[in-house]
Amino acid sequence: MSSEIKKIAVFTSGGDAPGMNAGIRAVVRACVYHNIEVFGVYRGYDGLIENDIVKLNARSVSNIIQRGGTILKSARCDEFRTPEGRQKAYENLKNRNIDALIAIGGNGTFTGLHVFYEQFGIPAICLPGTIDNDLPGMDYTIGYDTATNTAVEAIDKIRDTALSHNRLFFIEVMGRHSGYIAINSGIAGGAVSIVIPEAETPIDELIAQLDVGAENNKKSSLVVVAERGQSGSVWEIADQVKEKAPYYDIKVTILGHLQRGGSPTYFDRVLASRLGVAAVEGLLEGKKDVMIGVKDNQIVYVDFDRVNNQRHEIDDESLRLAKILSI
Ligand code: F6P
């Protein structure tokens, strides 16, 4: 592979996701393999602006494939939204002759890379690192599988106590504007109802569904609710049900950031490894200003307009499945 690119910097940005370390490792080792100098930027765009950049080698990423979080740390950075902030970042890269970037993050991370590319023409590829699985054009984001497994494990534990006390639990899972974690942890955890941000769940319908279960001898029920949905917060939903159906003994559990941590599953490690190597090779082949992903087991490149304007829709079949299984 011959290319003008001789030095690549890698960083993680936005909410961390299990598997980011496997992605960093893959980028670093693919660079070493192709004789490219590789640098790590700490704290995402903050580190680019503040010149928090170190040279990495194959050993810098030993023993991290199994670790959650990100060894490069992460941040959500406001200064990079300004032309002045981006100018500082550009100067820092120029001083080291770094000629391409690989970021691991979600929508916001890719937006930053895209704007930077438009301003300075630095080739850049973004790996989809977010537990939300909310990026279009690909099947899965790095971290989603682990986070969903974590949610299922927690839901199973709540089921034990729900059953012991004949209680109704509302369990909030993460997924900003995206019901992927909710729908699949709900199906896998045997939820009676799943509230996703993409659709409104009328309270009367939810209560009717719960009542059918109770009439059919269900002693306890679990409702999985994605955060920030059209139907309100998990507390609002639970309060409304409490008011209209006071015969249920209701509890609320918010799983929160525990879903972002933990050792990545084999699936997230392999996905991140494939994408990390493919991103380096994509840059060497001349790809720029794209998000990389896997769709139908093939590496794909998704452009900024698509990532910015489309959603990763939840398929109707998953919704139908959840409904059938809840009786
Ligand atoms: O985007 C990943 C995510 O974990 C969302 O599911 C959640 O809404 C958000 O990040 C939380 O962000 P923060 O850690 O900044 O509170």
Q: Express each pLDDT in 278-292 by its tens digit.
A: 999 999 999 999 999
Residues 113 and 197 in one domain: no
Range of the domain at 229: 144-261
Residue 181 lies in a domain: yes
Q: Are residues 182 and 164 part of one domain?
A: yes
For residue range 31-67, what is the model confidence (pLDDT) as tens digits? 999 999 999 999 999 999 999 999 999 999 999 999 9
Instruction: Tell me if 181 sits within 8 A of 134, measured CB to CB.
Output: no
Same domain, 256 and 288: no
Summarised one tens digit per residue, pLDDT across range 65-98 is 999 999 999 998 999 999 999 999 999 999 999 9
Same domain, 278 and 220: no
Q: Kindly state if the Cβ of 148 falls inside 6 Å of ligand 1.
A: no
Q: Is residue 53 part of a domain?
A: yes
Q: Beta strands of the chain (E only): which ranges?
A: 7-12, 37-41, 53-56, 100-105, 124-128, 168-173, 193-195, 221-226, 250-254, 290-295, 298-303
**Residue 151 and residue 251 in one domain:** yes
* CA nearest ligand 1 atom 15, residue: 15
- Which CATH number covers residue 44? 3.40.50.450
Same domain as 163, residue 114:
no
Same domain, residue pair 94 and 108: yes
Residue 136 covered by a domain: no
Tell how far the Cα of 259 is from the centroid of ligand 1, in angstroms. Answer: 10
- The CATH number of residue 185's host domain is 3.40.50.460
Q: How far is the CA of 256 from the centre of ligand 1 (A)?
A: 9
Distance 141 CA to ligand 1 centre (A): 14
Q: Does the Cβ of 135 fall within 6 Å of ligand 1?
A: no
Tell me: pLDDT of 1 over 80.
no
Residue with CA nearest ligand 1 atom 14: 15
**Whether residue 96 sits in one domain with residue 17:** yes
Q: What tokens were used for 194?
A: 């799943």
Same domain, 32 and 90: yes
Residue 169 shares a structural domain with residue 256? yes
- Which residue out of 16, 46, 132, 145 is catalytically annotated? 132
Average pLDDT estimate for 288-298 = 98
Ligand 1 atom 7 nearest Cα: 176
Q: Please tell me the total count of domains within the chain.
A: 2
**How far apart are the CA of 39 and the centre of ligand 1, in A?**
27
Residues 11 and 119 in one domain: yes
Q: Which atom of ligand 1 is nearest to the CA of 181?
A: 6
Q: What is the mean pLDDT of the chain?
A: 96
46 is catalytic: no
Residue 176: CB within 6 Å of ligand 1?
A: yes
**Does residue 317 fall inside a structural domain?**
no
Q: Is the CB of 173 under 6 A from ligand 1?
A: no
How far, in Å, are 99, 140, 177, 290, 302 from residue 305 at the CA level? 24, 19, 19, 10, 8
- Examine the domain organization and report whether 124 and 273 are in the same domain: yes
